[in-house]
Amino acid sequence: MSRADDGARATAAATTDAGDAARILVVDDERVIREILAEFLTLEGFSVHTVEDGEKALTELRIRPYDLLITDLKMPRLSGLQLLERITTERLGVLTVLMTGFGTVETAIEAMKKGAYDYLLKPFKVEEVIHVVRRALYRQRLQAENIRLREALTIYRVSEAIALSRDIDHVLDVVLHAAIDEVKADVATLHLHDQRSDSYQERVKVVASDDAPRGLPSPAFGTLLEQFAQGAPILAHGGKAGRYFTEDAAPAELSSFAAVPLHVRSHLVGVLNVFSFTPGKKFDEGHRKMLSVLASRAASAIDNARLMSELVESNTSLIRANSSLEEMFQQTIAGFAQALEESDLYTRGHSERVAVYSEILGRGLTLPDAEIRRIVQAGVMHDVGKIGVRYDMLNKPGKLTPEEVAVFRQHPEKGKRILDPVPCLHGLIDGCWCHHEWFDGGGYPRGLSGQSIPLVGRIVAIADAYDAMTSDRAYRRALPHEVAVGEIERCAGTQFDPELAEAFVRLIEAWRQGMRERGHDSLIPR
C-alpha cells in the first residue's frame, strides 16, 4: 500500500469520527488517480478508502459498508465490469460510478445498463467529480430511506398485529408472512423451545411457493445455538448451508438459508428460519437484519402472550380465592344466624325477615348494590348479640324485670364484641350495634340521634320493629299489618328516621301487593 493510501485512510477515519460522513471506496490501478481522488474527496468531507484492484475492492465491500464505489473500468485481475457483476450477484448493495477514458464510453454505457449509476470521463474535472458523487450519494440516501420506510411499514404492520391480537398463533403467522414478503423467501418456519422436551419444535410454517419441497430437513439447533451464542450470523447459500441441518446436507434445491434467534429477556425461546428454493435467489445481510427485527417482534408477542396467560391465571386464582372467601363469609353469617335462632324460639325466621324488609327499604332508596348486600347481611346478623343472652330470659312469656331488661339491652353491644375480632365482619357492626338507637336520641346503647345513627342502623331498626310487631312473641300474639304500619308512622321522628319510615310504609305496601299478585299471601304478615 502506498503512502498516499495510508494518508487517505487516516484522514478518512478522522472524518468518520467527526460525524456521519459518506463512505466512498475508490478502485483504480493507477496510483496517481487514487491519490488525487482520495485527496479532494476527503477535503470535501467524505470518508475515503482506496484499493488498487477489483478483488481487493470486493474484500473491502464484504467487510465494511460503503455508500459509493468509484471504480476504473480497465484494471488487471478483475475489470470494472466484472466487479460490477460480482457486486450485483453478491448483493453488496453499493452504488457504483465508473471512470472511463474516451475510448471506452460505450462500455461505460453498457455498464450502466447493468446497474452502474453513472460514469466519469477521464481526465476529469474536480467539480464534475464532486457533482457526480453528490448526486449519486443523494440517490443512495433516497434509496436507503425508501428501504427503511418499507421496513418501518412492515414492522408497524407486525407490531399492530401484536397489539391487537391475543392469539399467539395469529401473531406468529403475521410475522412469518411479513418475513416471506420482506426477503422473498419460499418457505419460512418458526420453531419454539419446548421446556418439557428441552427441544425446538416447529410452531408455524408458511410456504409461499409451489416450487418448495414438501418435506424440509430439521435445522440442526445445536449448531444454530452455538453460532447465535457467538453472535455469528447464520446465512448460507446452496450446499454450504448443509451444516445447519440435522442430516448435514442441505435440501437438494436449496438456494439460500438464513436463521435468526428469538430472545425473550436474554433467553433464546425460538428460531425463525427462511428458505429460498428459487435458483439465484440468495438472502443477504440486509435481509438477515430485517429478519432479526421481525424475530424480535415475534419474541415480544410470545412474551406478551405469556404475560397475559400469567395474568389470566393469577386473576382466576384471585377470583377463586375471593369467591371462597365470600363463601366462607356467607357460611359464617349463616352459622351465627343458626346459633341465634336456636337460642330464641320466637326469633325463628326473624333474622331472615328483617333481612328481607331491610332489602326492600334499601332497594327503594336506590342504594348501590354493594351497600344493599351489606344491609341484607346486617339484617341477618342484627341480633347476633343475643347469643350471649340467657335462653330462658329471651323466651320468657311475661314482662321482664328491670335487671332482665338491663341484660337484654346489652345485646347490641355484645353483637359488636362478637363481630369485632373478625375483620371480614366489620361491615356488619353498625347494623348490630345501632338498631336500637332512636332518631330522637332516646335509644340505646349509645343514645345516638338523627343522621349520626348509621343509615344501616336506621334501616334495620324499622325492619326489626315491623317484623317484631307482625310476629308472635313469647309475651304476645302477632299484631296485624295495619297496626304495625300505624305504629311505625306514629313513631316516625321519635324512634324512627321520619323519611325512612315514610318510605318503608310506602314500599312495604307495594311489596305486599306484589306478593299477593304472585300468590304468596301466606308469606306476608296478616
CB of 403 to Fe ion, least distance (A): 18
Q: Which residue is nearest to Fe ion (CB)?
A: 383
List of residues 6+ apart from 447 with CB closer than 8 A: 437, 441
List of residues 6+ apart from 306 with CB closer than 8 A: 264
CB of 393 to Fe ion, least distance (A): 14
CB of 389 to Fe ion, least distance (A): 10
Residues 13-52 as x/- pattern, contact with Fe ion by CB under 5 A: ----------------------------------------
- Angle, helix 350-364 to helix 455-470, in steps of 10 degrees: 130
CB of 354 to Fe ion, least distance (A): 9
CA dihedral (487, 493, 497, 500) positive or negative: positive
Please choose, out of 381-389, 419-427, 448-456, 506-514, the segment that lies near Fe ion by the rule CB under 5 A: 381-389
Cell, residue 134: 453528490
CB of 382 to Fe ion, least distance (A): 6
Q: Rounded to whole angstroms, how far apart are CA atoms 120 and 103?
A: 13
CB of 482 to Fe ion, least distance (A): 23
Asked if 270 and 297 touch (Cβ cutoff 8 Å), the reply is no
Which C-beta is closer to Fe ion: that of 291 or that of 455? 455
Which C-beta is closer to Fe ion: that of 245 or that of 357? 357
Q: Amino acid identity of 472?
A: D
Please choose, out of 108-116, 215-223, 379-387, 494-502, the segment that lies near Fe ion by the rule CB under 5 A: 379-387
CB of 460 to Fe ion, least distance (A): 8
Which C-beta is closer to Fe ion: that of 28 or that of 383? 383
Please choose, out of 12-20, 340-348, 376-384, 453-461, the segment that lies near Fe ion by the rule CB under 5 A: 376-384
Which C-beta is closer to Fe ion: that of 186 or that of 383? 383
Which C-beta is closer to Fe ion: that of 182 or that of 383? 383
Please choose, out of 116-124, 295-303, 351-359, 380-388, the segment that lies near Fe ion by the rule CB under 5 A: 380-388
CA dihedral (73, 74, 76, 78) positive or negative: positive
Which C-beta is closer to Fe ion: that of 27 or that of 432? 432
Can you tell me whether residue 11 is helix, strand or coil? helix
Please spell the DSSP secondary structure of 158-203, one letter per residue: HHHHHHH---HHHHHHHHHHHHHHHHT-SEEEEEEEETTTTEEEEE
Residues 330-362 as b or e (16 or more Cβ within 10 Å = b)? eeebeebbeebbebbeebeebbebbbbbbbbbb
Which C-beta is closer to Fe ion: that of 219 or that of 457? 457
Q: Rounded to whole angstroms, how far apart are CA atoms 309 and 284?
A: 37
Please choose, out of 159-167, 370-378, 383-391, 402-410, the segment that lies near Fe ion by the rule CB under 5 A: 383-391
Please choose, out of 111-119, 243-251, 271-279, 378-386, the segment that lies near Fe ion by the rule CB under 5 A: 378-386
Which C-beta is closer to Fe ion: that of 173 or that of 383? 383
Question: How many chain residues bind Fe ion (CB under 5 A)?
Answer: 1
CB of 342 to Fe ion, least distance (A): 17
CB of 415 to Fe ion, least distance (A): 8
CA dihedral (258, 262, 266, 267) positive or negative: negative
Q: Amino acid identity of 111?
A: A
Which C-beta is closer to Fe ion: that of 413 or that of 489? 413
Which C-beta is closer to Fe ion: that of 208 or that of 387? 387
Which C-beta is closer to Fe ion: that of 234 or that of 376? 376
Beta bridge partners of 235: 258
CA dihedral (237, 238, 240, 246) positive or negative: positive
Return phi, psi of residue 220, to 5°.
Answer: -85, 95
Please choose, out of 9-17, 198-206, 366-374, 382-390, the segment that lies near Fe ion by the rule CB under 5 A: 382-390
Quick one: which of 35, 383, 430, 467 contacts Fe ion (CB under 5 A)?
Answer: 383
Q: What is the CA radius of gyration of the chain?
A: 45
Please choose, out of 171-179, 377-385, 487-495, 515-523, the segment that lies near Fe ion by the rule CB under 5 A: 377-385
Cell, residue 472: 308472635
Strand (E) or helix (H) holding 267: strand 267-276
CB of 437 to Fe ion, least distance (A): 11
Which C-beta is closer to Fe ion: that of 383 or that of 437? 383
Which C-beta is closer to Fe ion: that of 54 or that of 443? 443
Residues 324-363 as x/- pattern, contact with Fe ion by CB under 5 A: ----------------------------------------
Q: Which of residues 384-403 bind Fe ion (CB under 5 A)?
A: none
CB of 446 to Fe ion, least distance (A): 14
For 498, half-sphere exposure in the C-beta direction (CA atoms, 13 angstrom radius) is 4
Asked if 524 and 515 touch (Cβ cutoff 8 Å), the reply is yes
CB of 364 to Fe ion, least distance (A): 22
CB of 461 to Fe ion, least distance (A): 9
Asked if 203 and 173 touch (Cβ cutoff 8 Å), the reply is no
SS3 content of the chain, % helix, strand, coil (to 5): 60, 15, 30
Binding site for Fe ion (CB under 5 A): 383
